[in-house]
A and B are shown apart, each in its own frame.
Chain A
Amino acid sequence: MPPALLTTSLVNTLQIGSLYALMALGITLTFSVMKLPNFAHAEFVSAGAYAALIISLAGVLNPLLIMAAAFVIGALAALLSHLLVFKPLEQRQVSFYTLILASFAIGLILRYLLFLLADSFNLFDLRIAIPLRILFRQDSLILSNLFAWAVPTSLLLVFLLTLLLNRSPLGREMRALANNPSLARVIGIPVERVKNATWLIVGGLAGVAGALWGMQTAVNPLMGWAAIISVFAAAILGGLSSFSGTILGAYVVAFSENTIMLFLNYSFSLDLAYKPAIPFIIIIAVLLIRPQGFSALLRRGGDLKR
């Protein structure tokens, strides 16, 4: 594998892995606190991307403002999903499987609402209007302004989330809820308030990830769904209960899709069209070999369940 190709693939790994991490943390948080593998998470990403697209088309080109708008819309989409669907279903004490089905249904509804929006205003396959430019170039190492936004933003948000989880009353309440919901209720933790806050954080992170993903690629109502299997693979690698494991999982998935895929293509002529199979392979391998993922290895770092 030529060094230039290796370098490019590693840069892509860092950039895409950071975005996967932002998306996957929301899934881990939802699963840990709400006990729900939320497939509507994909549409929170798409909703954030559309918020970012629309505000950028309106002339706002400050990435911070764009990401803030995406955070708000993603957070609102997640909170409304909880208040209108998940919460009433939980009150009826429906089964785990019903909640999963409900998450699929919410995802479909949100996706087709985005289709309606995109069709009405011709917003298919557009890109968030932040010009891409090279910030640093040394031989084959090229870093763009998108890299400069995506990687630090993701790392900063992950850091803030870890701080929130470990150092704030809300974080303690979230961890208590993740460990034992019944006990958390008995000891007076305001469970509904904590859940609302969790959904806001989950949706907000997904929204920001959507904004950054929309700068990397083209925005359409299916973009979140197209990424969701890779994101789930990252969360499953993290054991669905560990922040640090999820982040590591995100980079492993991105490394597999980029560097390993390019190595296999270059060395063994394996078609790049097999790239979407990689997250499936990871999910099956983890579930078969090590269902707890990286969580046991990284027990000290940002775990929700301790």
Chain B
Amino acid sequence: MFRKMLLLGLVLTLAAALVMPALAQDDMETYMLGVALPFTGSFGTFGQDFERGIDLAVAQMNAELAAAGSAIRFETVSADTEQTPEGASRAVQTIVQTTGAQVIVGPLTTAEVLGAKQFVDENGIVIVAMASSGPAASIPGDNIFRVIYPPDTFSSKAFATIALERGHANMVLLHVDDAFGNGMKEQFITNYQAQGGGEVATFAYAPQSTELSTEAAAVSAALAGFGDSAGFFCVCFPGAAEAFVQVAQIDPILTSVQWLGNEAMTSDEMLEDPGHAMTLANADFVTVSQSADTTPLTPIFEHDFVAMFDKDPGIFTNYAFDAANIAMLTMLAAGNDGAAVKSMLPFIANHYIGTAVQAFLDENGDQAIASYGIRQVLEDGSGFEVIGTYDGNNDTITYK
């Protein structure tokens, strides 16, 4: 009898051991987090690095959820936006239609975000973008949240103020012909002329252009037409920025005026080329980009990133990490439902302090805290130094 009981007990234990994990597995709930980023094209390195930042955030969140006994786990599914609006739309649709994901982290640029906008608005999907800043995507009530990087309405004011402080009576502006470049152009002209600036000659280049000698010739001629008091402002993407400086460095006009430019001009690759570095140094190049100030979480993020990927995080990778955390925290609070996430996300974001900056969203779902650093290239072209800060909320520049 005892043997039978023992045998029965063993069988039941064995059965329980086999069945319980399966039951536990059934109890687990998986939330899909879509990742739509440019993995190819000039921004391919950004996209791949941003994805690592998101993977780190998801791994950390899942570990915490497991430790807390939660049945929820996050999984990511990625698609390449190909750095185009059409590609972004395709990527988001593919993710949603194949996995049912309700929340997408990304895309990267404003043009890509706008490319996916119609689909996400019509289908109740939420986009949490980390670096899009074009004013064209500042739309109240839509399903797009730009949680980290503030809109260019702020930085364009800083650029306009700096141009006037430098004594530029007129400006020549070269910009990429997309939502980001066109938005920055319009905002800059408005702010520059509102503060007493003169004429702004603008030249657009096609986003796919890789050779900009025609554009450099046109910019040079316009600068020559304005005379000594003119300055140059470049709103370019990586790749085009290097291509422009490459042809500009032997132009006598372009190398004799002061330059302003967006952060694409400040890549490590730019300064690795001695000719490019000296061109920027001779032009007293200045850029305005979101503050590189750190929070207590920044070094922890950097340490964990290196531990997981055996490499340093790239520029702005922590923005992707923060955007993923805001998305996941909102899903934990609101559930895996696009409409609920849309409703809850501003509350979560406004209580989130990440690795870069406090998030606080305006009525458009955009980052409202506008804290920028003003950086100038060193005289020998070896790097950049912070020469001041711009408080976008109070429209105040403070130089060191």
Contact = CB atoms under 8 A, between A and B. Distances in A.
A146 to B, nearest CB: 9
Given A9-B217, A216-B246, A115 B44 contact: yes
B284 interface: no
A164 B249 CA distance: 39
B330 to A, nearest CB: 31
Nearest to A129: B273
Given A132-B250, A222-B41, A273 B204 contact: yes
Contact of A226 (B210, B215, B217, B247): B210
A216 B247 CA distance: 7
Interface in A1-38: 2, 4-5, 8-9, 12, 15-16
A8 B217 contact: yes
A220 B246 contact: no
Q: How large is the interface on A (under 10, 10 to 19, 20 to 34, 35 or more residues)?
A: 35 or more
Interface stretch (B9-17, B18-26, B162-170, B236-244): B236-244
Interface residues of B, number: 42
Interface string B209-235: 111111101101100110000000000
Contacts of A271: 177, 203-204
B382 interface: no
A213 B247 CA distance: 12
Given A132-B275, A226-B208, A272-B205, A16 B269 contact: no
Among B209, B213, B214, B224, chain A packs the most CB atoms within 10 A around the CB of B214
Interface stretch (A95-103, A184-192, A261-269): A261-269
A265 B272 CA distance: 34
Contact of B213 (A112, A216, A265): A216
B211 A217 contact: yes
B195 interface: no
B76 interface: no
8 contacts: A16-B211, A16-B213, A127-B276, A222-B40, A261-B214, A266-B218, A274-B206, A275-B214
Given A220-B42, A258-B213, 16 more contacts: A5-B218, A8-B220, A9-B214, A115-B40, A126-B272, A127-B242, A132-B275, A134-B250, A216-B211, A226-B209, A226-B211, A227-B210, A262-B217, A262-B218, A266-B221, A275-B206
Interface of B: 40-42, 44-45, 48, 177, 203-206, 208-215, 217-218, 220-221, 224-225, 238-239, 242-243, 246-247, 249-252, 267, 269, 272-276
